[in-house]
Amino acid sequence: MTNLRVVLAEDAPLLRTGIVTVLESDGHQVCAAVGSADELREATRVHQPDVVVTDVRMPPTHTDEGIRVAIELRRATPGLPVVILSQYTTVGSLEQLLDRDADTGRGGLGYLLKDRVAHVRHFLDAVREIASGATIIDPDIVVALVGASRRRGVLGALTPREEEVLGLMAQGLTNPQIADRLVVSEAAVRKHVGNIFAKLPIPQQGDRRVLAVLTYLNES
């Protein structure tokens, strides 16, 4: 079996050390084991690995840095095999990562829940298959992707930023509070809100903000 050159990104030091040990026990070379998105970018550029293994949530925001960096890396190097590890079934930017039209969907790709890879052999087999070009998505993630696709109906007309603004509206935030949360101007928020009103199938009469929020909650 071919041994692989691996770049690993995982912000939890204990788990990072454990994954390095597991990979090296199978004969692979871990070229770099890092704990942030910026370090992952640099390590991949320097080492040009056979496969990247990355956590989803890393500093600084602990949201979906791992996926977003994976998208960047696969656009820069189409077909670069990537294994994404997640504690959660959130799909975030996964659909963008799977988009073949965006030069990110080619080559091996895996999205594995961490509790599934507690079985060492399963994890190692998955890494080898993904490095060889296979796509392996955890069944729970597939269910989440299908659910997201079904919810997209009405909200599909919105841009990601507009949907983010609408989600904050649903939390009861005012325009100034949304501007503060997103670090944008109130004018930008007003523009997004206007676009939301124009795109959603809500009547001209009544409280359009409330109607937009109700539409969002119903679709979600």
Q: So where are the chain's domains? A: 5-147, 156-219
Q: Is the pLDDT of residue 100 over 60?
A: no
User: Tell me, what's the pLDDT at 50?
Assistant: 97
CA distance 100 to 71: 11
Q: Is the pLDDT of residue 177 over 80?
A: yes
Mean pLDDT of all residues belonging to the chain: 85
CATH T-level fold of 5-147: Rossmann fold (3.40.50)
Report the pLDDT averaged over residues 2-24. Answer: 95
184: three-class secondary structure by DSSP: coil
Q: Which of 6-10, 91-95, 176-180 has the least mean pLDDT?
A: 91-95
CATH T-level fold of 156-219: Arc Repressor Mutant, subunit A (1.10.10)
The b/e string for 62-93 (b: 16+ C-beta within 10 A; e otherwise) is eebbbbbbbbebbeeeeebbbbbbbeebbbbb
Is the bond preceding 60 in cis, omega lying within 30 degrees of 0? yes
pTM, rounded to two decimals: 0.66
Those residues with Cβ within 8 angstroms of residue 192's Cβ, 6 or more apart along the chain or in another chain: 161, 162, 165
Report the pLDDT averaged over residues 90-98. Answer: 66
Those residues with Cβ within 8 angstroms of residue 193's Cβ, 6 or more apart along the chain or in another chain: 165, 169, 175, 209
Where does the pLDDT of residue 3 fall: very low under 50, low under 70, confident under 90, or very high at 90 and above? very high
Residue reference for tokens 């007309």: 157
Q: Is the pLDDT of residue 210 over 60?
A: yes
Alpha-carbon dihedral 157, 163, 167, 168, rounded to 10 degrees: -140
142-170 pLDDT, tens digit per residue, is 666 555 555 556 777 888 888 889 889 88
Q: Do domains 5-147 and 156-219 have the same CATH topology?
A: no
CA distance 166 to 216: 7
107: three-class secondary structure by DSSP: strand
CA distance 58 to 64: 7
